[in-house]
Structure 1
Amino acid sequence: MRLTFMGAAGTVTGSKYLLEHGGRRVLVDCGLFQGLKQLRLRNWDRFPLDPATVDAVVLTHAHIDHSGYLPALARQGFHGPAFATEATRDLCGLLLPDAGHLQEEDAFYANRHAFSKHKPALPLYTEQDGRRALKLFKSRPYRQAFEPIPGVQMHFHPAGHILGAASVEVAWDGGTALFSGDLGRDHDLLMRPPEPPPAVDHVVMESTYGDRLHAQEDPATLLAETVDRTAARGGIVIVPAFAVGRAQALMYLIAELKRAGRIPDLPVFLNSPMAADATAIYHRHRAEHRLDAEQCHRMCHAARIVNTVEESRKLNDLRYPAIIISASGMATGGRVVHHLKAFAPDHRNTILLAGYQAAGTRGAALVAGAREIKIHGEYIPVRAEVVNLGSLSAHADRRELLAWLGRLPRPPKRVFLTHGEPVAADSLRLGVQEAHGWDCTVAEHMQAVEL
């Protein structure tokens, strides 16, 4: 078995792992690169091999940095099946067309306002490309064996993180491997903890938070204090939030805080029709998460859904305390960028970040204390308060990653670390070696190894 790291090596985005066995090819994850420009440009490169020669794709979960390149791959000639859990398939039904739609919107806006260097600016793929890619999906239950190619058997194992997230166990004549996917937390607000890993020869594990521990503060208390403080100033709380996972956790928290009288009864706007649809999918797949039917109902009705572009524009004219939750979670695009442009210059407002912020994103710049951010070709002053709600992260931290790895029934031959910035990945490498004494390396982009 030959493994090539085609993404998420040296960075937290663009997850793609090519497996080659018996003359066949399987791609585990098919994600978009995000963040730094030199990474985003990789999305536009011709795929390193003929996409038509890839026999199957297997997705660990629906987040765009793991699934969002699939429409582009199909546009270039891939026509095989894309295997995923049922919930991942359902969420990709929202995320992939929406990703194409946002790219079309951004290209249209860039051309209309002439701030792009490209004449004309074009989307990587369209909404229609996203819908076509959905026809490739074949869902498989957790723990049930399937063969993406002859001679290679795979299983999905629950990974926490978000609805449908899975680790992928791979077995072939001569060896076994496990791709962790993004691992969730032991005590996540919504999701159940990751399942312990099975005995395997090789592990490919994420290292997003490999060099740090999550803050121990109570996210509900920090959110309540932030909302109270902002409302007292007469300000608006802007929350860039991933439409799948963080948006639902935030709405659940807001509903519970209002119910307990811990925050004022402010209007809450969910400016992401896709996030609203994703919330309904959480309702359908209740067996996978912690919320009961009543809690799900309150979460689903915690916010007013903003559907049209015109309604979205009107939010920028708000002059009374409110909460606006909008994608994207790292403020790289989508409707939230327009809200940041409108509200970041006012000291009464608050920008609340509630997830991992990859290097090179506006979210990362805000966490680092940037006093201005570039939006649509111009620099916007940041006078609003910036709050980082790190304890709400859906990623396992260093302690949880090491604990998950420590649950392996026997030592693996080798551990490869991916999906982390260089410092985080190398810190976790040292942690694995110190805790277990195992052979552990940080994968490099386009590195190929024989398993």
Structure 2
Amino acid sequence: MSALTFLGAAGTVTGSKFLVERGQQRILLDCGMFQGEARWRRRNWDSFPVDPASLDAVVLTHAHLDHCGYLPSLVRQGFRGPVICTPGTADVAEIVLRDAAHLQMEDAQHARAGDYSRHDPPQPLFDTEDAERAIRLFQPATGRVELDGTTVTLHRAGHILGSAFAELELAGESLLVSGDLGRQHHPLLRPPEDPPAVDTVLVEATYGDRQHQPLDRAQLGRLISTTAARGGVTLMPAFAIDRTAVLLHELAGLMRDGLIPHLPVFVNSPMALAALNVYRAAVTNKSPELRPELLGGPDPFDPGTLRLVHSVEESMRISDPGRPAVVISASGMATGGRVLYHLERLLPGKRNTVILPGFQVPGTRGRALLDGARSVKIHGRYIPVRAQVVGQPEFSAHADSDELITWLSAAPSPPETVYVVHGEDHARAALANRIRDELDWTAVTPTHLERVRL
């Protein structure tokens, strides 16, 4: 008998971890951190439900923190097996884990200095040594991987560079884990491959209850131009992986088409700069993941006014540029990183605009800003919010409800069960209802730590 246990992303949109057991074999599908509300973040500090040393392997669908960020903690607790992923995910996850370790240590240091932690003394969840040990376990794969009788195949998911959905074949049964599915019209990446026929599907539901609207480029242009006209700065807290590259590509198009003035564009995030190098290398190497129209032309990520910020000193100098500009900085939900210094300086100014280009998890500063907070707490003190705050969910790299249903319906045959995961409860319930009503499949919204037979 094979079993599946939901160790994360069941009841919340983060912390993806799914344990598959067949006899004595244990494989963990994704290894993400919980983010957002304190009740979820505290789970990162819980002991892992099984002995990490007993895991035979970890399979990563992609390199976002809520899918790979718990890996150094797992290694700290004794995991030593292979980490199966695509070459692109290995390249990007290396950047993500090093940055996460740095932020963990930096946050603990800030908490010690400011005396605002619940822990005494404040400690990081993991450190740089744990991250490096995790990175050394990566085993990039491009085809089928055999793990003691279980076969793992990674298929293109079109969410970020290297992203995949994972197909497992074990003891006559088959399982598919969607990871995060990309859009049909991602500006940089080709769309997801169609799913194969399997017995069981785990599908994400980040946008399971809504549809994306097309990006109104003219409206975005007016927003940035109006901010510049009043002498303000447009700040975009952006995920370093993929979102920064997408925003640069869009800004280049807006300037080229005369929809915004030729403003200086600062990218201030070490992780974003490293990820941008990976995306540029993919363009140079003509990666099959990229849309063909990106290949063979000029740099698709440079609007002509691009300024890459490397040092902390330079970062502090441009925390408020003092003139109209666009600043892109991580993290995308304003949970940490250099963007916090920009928010401290820019949120109190009425001339400035903060654009939130993507999903904001409940409990994050980004969600608080999106929901109209009049002040937000940064580095232990409250900062007034007088700047204009605008959400731009059109930049999301997640498939919406219609795209998820279309993707599922492309399977050659119906699965026995679809487990709807990685979404807020209302989004999961809405998608599960659509799967039942429109596809006539069995769809379930599992609970945290629930265990089911395959």
What is residue 362 of structure 2 aligned with on the other side? 359
Q: Give the aligned residue type for 2:47.
A: R
Match of 2:268 in 1: 271
Structure 1 residue 127: Cα displacement: 2.1
Change (3 A) 1:300 1:136: farther
Which residue of the other structure, out of 217, 221, 224, is the alignment partner of 2:218?
A: 221
Q: Summarize the alignment of residues 380-391 of structure 1 with structure 2, pairs less than 5 Å apart.
A: 380-391=383-394
Q: Which amino acid aligns with 1:321?
A: P
Query: 167, 175, 178: which one pairs with 1:177?
Result: 175
Q: Secondary structure at the match of 1:285?
A: helix
Matched, 1:21 2:19: no
CA distance in 1, matches of 2:272, 2:306: 11
Calculate the TM-score normalised by the size of structure 1: 0.97
For residues 274-312 of structure 1, the C-alpha deviation after alignment (integer angstroms, 9 at most, x for no partner) is 211211111222321122243445449762111122211
Gaps of 5+ in 2: none
Structure 1 gap ranges (5+) = none
| Counterpart amino acid of residue 66 in structure 1 | H
Structure 1 residues 258 and 217: alpha-carbon distance in aligned structure 2, compared to 1, 3 A threshold:
closer
In structure 1, the residue matched to 2:323 is 320
- Counterpart amino acid of residue 7 in structure 1: G
Residue 300 to residue 66, structure 1, CA distance change in 2 (3 Å)? farther
Deviations 1:259-281 (A, max 9, x none): 23321111111111221121111
1:381-402 CA distance string (max 9 Å, x none) = 1111111111111000010011
Distance 1:161 1:4, change over 3 A: same
> What letter matches 2:84 in structure 1?
F
Structure 1 residues 420-435: aligned runs within 5 Å: 420-435=423-438
Equivalent pairs: percent with the same residue?
50
Pick from 235, 240, 257: which aligns with 1:238? 235
2:96 matches 1:98 = no
Equivalent in the alignment of 1:168: 166
Cα distance in 2, alignment partners of residues 438 and 179 from structure 1: 17
Query: What is the rounded CA distance, in whole Å, between the counterparts of 2:342 and 2:317 in structure 1?
Result: 10
The answer on 1:411 being equivalent to 2:414 is yes
More moved, 379-388 vs 289-298: 289-298
Matched residue type, 1:412:
P
Aligned-residue RMSD, C-alpha: 1.3
Partners in 2 of 1:407 and 1:389 — Cα distance?
29
Deviation of 1:47 after TM superposition, in Å, equals 0.9
Alignment partners' CA distance in 2, 1:448 and 1:208: 22
426-435 or 299-308, which deviates more: 299-308
Written as runs of structure 1 = structure 2, the 5 A alignment for 1:331-342 is 331-342=334-345
1:252 aligned residue: 249
* 1: CA distance, partners of 2:264 / 2:282: 28
Query: What's the TM-score, normalizing by structure 2?
Result: 0.96
Does the 8 A contact of 2:9 with 2:422 survive in 1? yes
Shift of residue 324, structure 1, vs aligned partner:
0.9
The one of 203, 206, 221 aligned to 1:205:
203
SS in 2 for 1:15: coil
Secondary structure, in 3 states, of the residue corresponding to 1:153?
strand
Determine if the alignment matches structure 1 residue 373 to structure 2 residue 376. Answer: yes
Letter matched to residue 170 of structure 2? W
Q: Summarize deviations over 1:424-451 as a string: whole Å, max 9, x none.
A: 0001111111101111000110010110
- SS across alignment from 1:208: coil
Name the structure 1 match of 2:156: 158
Residue-by-residue CA offset, 1:336-366 (whole Å, 9 max, x unaligned): 1121111111111001001111111111111
Q: Is the contact made by 1:230 and 1:321 (CA closer than 8 Å) also made in structure 2?
A: yes
**Are residues 300 and 320 of structure 1, via their aligned partners in 2, closer, same or farther at CA, if it must alter by over 3 Å?**
closer
Q: 1:377: how far off?
A: 2.1
Residue in structure 1 matched with residue 128 of structure 2 by the alignment: 127
Counterpart AA for 2:145: F
Q: 1:161 to 1:298 in 2, by over 3 A?
A: closer
User: Which residue identity is paired with 1:413?
Assistant: E
